[in-house]
Amino acid sequence: MGASRRRGPYGGVRAAVRAAGAALALALLATGCDDGGTEGKSAAPSPPRSAWNTHPRSIASLGDSITRGFDACSVLEDCPEASWATGTRVDSLARRLLASPQTSSWNYAKTGARMADLPGQMRSAIAQKPQLVTVLLGANDACRANVAAMTPVADFRTDFEGAMRQLRLELPKTQVYVAGVPDLMRLWSEGHKNMIGRQVWKLGSICPSMLHDSESTDEASAARRVQVDQRVREYNAVLKDVCSRDELCRFDDTVHGYGFTGQELSKWDWFHPSQKGQGQLAAMAYRTITAENPAA
């Protein structure tokens, strides 16, 4: 009785707590439940998402006449040296990013190419195992003899998805920069003010669906241009959608939104980028590729 009084009213509780603590410590030692034990490891953490490399060391560029530098140096000729992607005459993406552009970049674009040609270009790129693939393609899908001949949106999607799937099967860690299709309506709006541009366009070899009868403002001509403009927007929606489902793909719609000026267009056709325009494309691509958190 005296001993129970000396413990006080909570003495039994304290003893019980001490006993429980000792039992728990023994259990922990027996089971190895510490930082290196099994507790907390029943569910393995999800693997981290692949980090975007803001400074890749090699580039393969795919696309059409824009990426080939067509009409940037001389009339009716490719000038890959002036390409926004891999050129050496302009401050290209390759020159901005790579220590050795001549040996670490490849230009597989082809003048006149459409999205249906991307899988073939992608196979060429895969052979080089680049850390970055750039894609600027789609203008020729809209630039057809007439609006009825424009590439259907579903076909455009199928070809782009197929090329991306092919890349992922072979090079799952290669990054992809996808530029939006340029605003063809803007190019018409800027170029049709120039007499030389109008005369060149009358030859009918440059984007007739948009540029045919470029001075006409009648209802039919306006409706035709709106159709081409709408198709370009639909193509860009496809590019954005497909790219958004690939964690190593960045879509850049600033290319479509950029307002090319007369100085940034070829003096021979007033449609393709001049060397200054090619430099602007390179700057846009560089900003998107090197951004830590690009805008959605």
pLDDT tens for each residue of 200-228: 888 878 999 999 999 898 999 999 999 99
pLDDT attached to residue 198: 83
Residue 13 has pLDDT above 80, yes or no: no
Whether residue 19 is found in the same domain as residue 65? no
Do 158 and 18 fall within a single domain?
Answer: no
Q: What is the percent of the chain with per-residue pLDDT over 90, rounded to a whole number?
A: 73
Residues 96 and 11 in one domain: no
Regarding whether 150 and 74 lie in a shared domain, the answer is yes
Q: Is residue 203, in this structure, part of any structural domain at all?
A: yes
Per-residue pLDDT band for 10 (boundaries 50, 70, 90) equals: very low
How would residue 190 be classed by pLDDT, with cut points 50, 70 and 90? confident
Tell me what pLDDT residue 15 has: 46
What is the predicted pLDDT for the residue at 118? Answer: 98
User: Residue 295 has what pLDDT?
Assistant: 64
User: Are residues 230 and 131 part of one domain?
Assistant: yes
User: Whole-structure pTM over 0.95, yes or no?
Assistant: no
Q: What DSSP string describes the chain?
A: -HHHHHH-TTHHHHHHHHHHHHHHHHHHHHHT-STTSSTT-SSPPPPPPPPP-SS-S-EEEEESTTTTTTTSSSTT---GGG-TTT-SSS--HHHHH-S-HHHHEEE---TT--GGGHHHHHHHHHHH--SEEEEE--HHHH-SSSGGGSPPHHHHHHHHHHHHHHHHHH-TT-EEEEEPPP-HHHHHHHHTTSHHHHHHHTTS-S-HHHHTTTT--SHHHHHHHHHHHHHHHHHHHHHHHHHHTSTTEEEETHHHH----GGGB-TTTSSSB-HHHHHHHHHHHHHHHH-SS---
pLDDT > 70 fraction of the chain, expressed in percent and rounded: 82
Write out pLDDT tens, residues 124-155: 999 999 999 999 999 999 999 999 999 999 99
Residues 268 and 122 placed together within one structural domain of the fold: yes
Does 69 lie in the same domain as 19?
no
Same domain, 25 and 65: no
- Which is more confidently placed, 233 or 199? 233
Residue 33: pLDDT above 50? no
Regarding whether 127 and 22 lie in a shared domain, the answer is no
Domain membership of residue 87 as a residue range:
59-290
What's the rounded mean pLDDT across residues 57-82? Answer: 97
Q: CA-CA distance, 122 to 133, in Å (whole number)?
A: 9
Lowest model confidence (mean pLDDT) among 40-44, 55-59, 202-206, 280-284: 40-44
pLDDT (0 to 100) of residue 203:
83
**CATH number (domain holding residue 281):** 3.40.50.1110
Give the model's pLDDT for residue 199.
85
Mean pLDDT in residue range 191-208: 84
Pick from 139, 73, 81, 71: nearest CA to 107: 81
pLDDT band at 5 (very low <50, low <70, confident <90, very high): very low
Residue 23 and residue 167 in one domain: no
Number of independent structural domains in the chain: 2
Q: Share the mean pLDDT of the chain.
A: 86
Q: 254-269, pLDDT tens digit by residue?
A: 999 999 988 999 999 9
Q: What is the mean pLDDT of residues 180-191?
A: 92
- The answer to whether position 42 is within a domain reads no
- In this prediction, residue 195 carries a pLDDT of 83
C-alpha span between 107 and 61 (Å, rounded): 5
86-95: per-residue pLDDT in tens? 999 999 999 9
Kindly state whether residues 260 and 187 are assigned to the same domain. yes
Higher pLDDT, 279 or 25: 279
**Quick one: pLDDT at residue 192?**
84
